[in-house]
Every structure is written in structure tokens, then in C-alpha cells.
Amino acid sequence: MVALRSVRTLVLSAGGAVLLVGLLFGVLLPSAHAQSQRADDMFYGRLGGGLSDFTSDLSSWRPTHPFGGGKFTRGAGPPFVFVGEVGYQFSPHWALGIGIQGGNYPVEVYPEIEGISDSYRYTPRVLGRYTMGGGAVAPYVDLGVHATLGGDRPPTRIGAGPSVGGGVDIRLGRAASLYVESRVNLTVPSGAVDGSDAGTRFDVTGQLLGIGLKVHLTAPTPPRIIRLEGPDTLDTGTSVTFAATVNEEAADRPLDYQWDFGDGATATGRTATHAYDRPGRYVVSFSARNRAGTAEASTAVVAEPPPEPPQIATARATPEPAAAGAAVQFSAAATGGNPIAYEWRFGDGASAEAASPTHTYETPGTYTARLRVSNPDGDDTRTVTVRVARPAGADTSGAAAAAQNSADSSGTGPPAVPPADTSAQERWGIVVASMSEEGQAAPVARRYRERLPEPLRVEVRGAESDRGVRRHRVVIGPFEGTEAAQQVLRERAEMLPSGAWLLRLE
């Protein structure tokens, strides 16, 4: 029994040594562990061989040879085992396998047992295996159940029991690895293997040390990028979507997607949205990765400044009203992307292409000047009304003056042509605002009082329109005659609105 325990201890010690070596490899090679990943979700096959070991009642009959070649009979063949297994790898750590261990156990004392001359035994088994870590060198342990059969009949019979093993798996590539392992198969009843029920309650058919190859029977499918979709050009500050089409149905999962937009920004997923802050040409890269490999593709995109159609900020004509034959200064300002083109049509058939042209109207009347600004991104238009009066001192009939005064007092707007000064007793004012509420007109009048120097006076005057609506006009004056009013209108053009007009006061 002492020899039996020695053999058993030595067998278990050998298996423990193998596991210890595996653990040391896993600790001493952290870089390999970090850089590689074990395949999963696939079928595999294992094939190997090694040295056999047998521990039973019979092997203890030769205490001088508790372990080693001396306990095996000479001429009956070498003590070896062969191992085959197929299984499924559920994850990088867990697998389930079905296999068989066949071996020659030529114990020297077999001839002393009547009827036993065959030293081969066969052990089918089912195992669950756990691999520690996911690196290039990974130790593992497994546990399962087995049945052992073989030998002459009588007296041997089928036995069963637990199977315990462990070893180290060394990755050779994407689809293959080398393993080194040790295994112990405990078999009951005791006489199932050696035909002897004396001494111990079980027999051991072990694999002292074995080596083999593990191959993937179903290779993982790497990702493949079918196409990338995205714009060729886009406006800065505008979000756009990029999308990738990948062989998701065929490629092994999990799949990892990564976008690099070329400006330091990244994103994940099969689709991604991004906006560029600065103009330029950018290379958008996409990668798809799984345990079988990595696929990459890229596309170029140009970010451009957004279109800036022009918008007219100001458009005016001074003086207004203007005298026939006198120069009228037009001015305009516009925003938008350069270059901006200006085109004025003055309403009398003349035109000019400048932001601030000068034009002279020869005939009194009301003219609508139209401004159009344009650039490559669009255009904008605005109109300016210009009232042109007869020059001061021109002959005007009293009927025409009365008609103009009547039109103005109605409150519908300024007269088309202010009348000439026909009487020293007539008083005129300059209307700078017209409002329906007196409370709105009062602060406007106050601002003009503060803006205009003495002796110019500013007051609010009320009047009825032709439709019975009360209007409150902010009026500068009074002035003795239209000449004096027009002179102030010209001199103070920068302080007065472009739509100011002359009004005969009661």
C-alpha cells in the first residue's frame, strides 16, 4: 500500500507540475495575454499522445518498482496513450468536449492473473474545460466522467468514474494551438481494469504527460466592408451622417466598429454623425473588427464655408425730398459673402453699378429707385422712394399748391411735390414721424429736441386723416416758406430720416 500511495502521489504531482508551469507562463507573458484573444463560438478537435501510467492492486505487488519502466513487463510494448477529442468552445474560457483515451498498460504481473494477457484499455469520456485567461499561453483545468473497458474476458469488466486533468494551451495561430497536459482517470469497481478486487477500491489509468494539437474545425469569419456612404462635400458647422455596410450576417460576433473623422474626433457604431468646424479636406476612416481580423476603409470629404447670400442692411437717398436738377446721393450697405455686386435702377430709366452712386432727376415727381445686390450664393432687393420737387422760386399755380396741401393734411402721406413759397405768411414744417398714439410720438419728439441745435423747434401736432383716423406727427419748425424748410432738410440730412417730408402748417 505504501508503494501504491507513492505511485498515486507521483502521478498527481506530475499533473500539478504541468499546471504550475502553465500558470507561470500566464504570469510571465502578460504582453501576449493582452495582445491576443481566444476564439469562441466554434467547434474544435484535439489529437495527441503521451506516456501512460497505471496504478492498481497489481502494480503494488512490485514495491521495488512503484513507478517507472521497471513495473512494466518487457516485450509487451511501450507504455503509451493516444487521445482524441471533439468539442465546442462556447466562450474564450468555457468548452465542452467528448473524447477517448486509449493506452497500453503492460503491467508485469498480468500473467499471474488467470485469463488476462491483453494490456490495452480504452477510456471514452465527457469533459468540461475552463481556460484561465485569454492570452497566447493559457493554463486550463477540466473535469468530467469516463468509462474504462478492455482486456480479456473474463475476468475484466466495464468500470466508470471521474476524470481530472489540466495543462497549458499555447496558441500557434488563429486556428491552431499546442497543448501539454496530464490526466488521472479513477475507475470503480476496483477489478474493472485489472481483474483484482483486492487491496484498493479503485484503479487509475492515467496519462502521465501528454502533448497534442488543437485545431478549429469551424474557422471564424472576418469582417468585410462592402461600402462607405457619406457626402463628398459639406458645409462647416453642418452635421452629416456617414454609414458603413458590413457583412454582418456572415462575420463572427461580436463586431466592433470605429470611426475616425480626420480632425481628432472619433465615434463608434455602423453609422455616425459629425460636423466639421473648419474648412479643409478630411479623410474619414472606418474599421470593423472581430476575433478573426480587422477590415478598414476610408473616404475623403471636403468641408467648405456655408453659403452667405447677400442681405441689404441699409439703402437710402439724400436729400429727400430733393430738388429737380440737384444731385441725389444714394448709399447702401449689404452683408454676405464677397464679392457683392450692387446695381441701382433710379426709376427714370437710368442705372448705375456701385454701392453709393450719385444721380440727378430733371423732372419733379415721385420715383421708386430699386437696389439689387448679388453674389454667387444669391441676391436681395430693396426699393427707395425719392420725391423730387420743383426748384425753389419756380412758378407754381395756387391750385396746385392747394391740391398738394390738401393731400398732405389728409394724413395719407407726404405730398408728391412740395409747393413753392407763394406767401411770406405761409409756415412750413418738416415731418420726421407720424404715429397713431400721442404717447408714442412724445418720446420721439424729445429725442429730436436733444439731437437738433437751437433755434430749431420740435413739437407734436395732431391732425385728422381723410378716413377719420387721428395722427400725431413729430414736426420740426415752423419755417417761413418752403425754401427755409428745404435748406434745413439738406443741412440736417444725416440727422433726419430718409422719408421726412414738408408739411404746410395751419
418 CB-near residues (< 8 Å, 6+ apart): 321, 387, 389, 404, 428, 482, 485, 486, 501, 502
Beta strands 427-435 and 470-480: pairing type?
antiparallel
Which pLDDT score is estimated for 402?
Answer: 37
- Provide the grid cell at 497: 430720416
State which H helix or E strand residue 22 sits in: helix 2-28
The per-type count for the chain, helices as H runs and strands as E runs, is 6, 28
What is the per-residue pLDDT for 192?
Answer: 77
**Which pLDDT does position 484 carry in this prediction?**
84
pLDDT in tens, 350-377: 999 998 999 999 888 899 999 999 998 8
Per-residue pLDDT, 123: 93
What pLDDT shows up at residue 492? Answer: 82
- Could you give all domains of the chain from N- to C-terminal order, each with its CATH number? 2-216 (2.40.160.20), 225-304 (2.60.40.10), 311-389 (2.60.40.10), 398-505 (3.30.70.1070)
pLDDT, position 38: 66
Strands (E), 90-218: 94-104, 120-131, 137-150, 159-171, 176-187, 203-216
Please give the DSSP secondary-structure letter assigned to residue 238: -
Note whether 301 and 233 are within 8 A (CB): yes
The helix/strand/coil state of 443 is: helix
pLDDT of residue 468: 63
CA distance 204 to 14: 14
pLDDT < 70 regions, the chain: 1-39, 57-76, 107-117, 151-156, 197-200, 392-425, 464-469, 498-499, 506
Record the pTM.
0.45
Identify the pLDDT of residue 217.
87
